[in-house]
Structure 1
C-alpha cells in the first residue's frame, strides 16, 4: 500500500481581477472629489471596484 499524500487547497487569487485584465472594469463614481474642473469643463472621476484603476471623464 502506498503512502497517503495530503493535498493542500490552492491559494486564492485576488478577487475578480481576471476580468479587469481583459478590459472589463466595474466602474464606480468617486464621490469625495465631485466637482473638479479641468479646462472649464465638469470632471467626473471613476474608480474600478475590482482593481482600483481610476479614469477621468470631462463633459
Structure 2
C-alpha cells in the first residue's frame, strides 16, 4: 500500500505559491515537492552516515 503526504495550504496562498514555484524554475508544485523531499532524504542519510561513523 502506497503512503501519501498531504500538505494543506490556505486557498489564498495557493496562487502565490504557484508563482514562487514557477519563479524557482519548477514546472509544478508536485515537482517542487519531490525535489524538496529528495534533498531532505539525502541530508538525513548523510547525517545518519556521520552519526554511525562517529564524526
TM-score range for the pair, normalised by the shorter chain length: under 0.3
Q: If the length of structure 1 is used for normalisation, what is the TM-score?
A: 0.20
Relative contact order (C-alpha < 8 Å, sep 6+): which is higher? 1
Q: If the length of structure 2 is used for normalisation, what is the TM-score?
A: 0.20
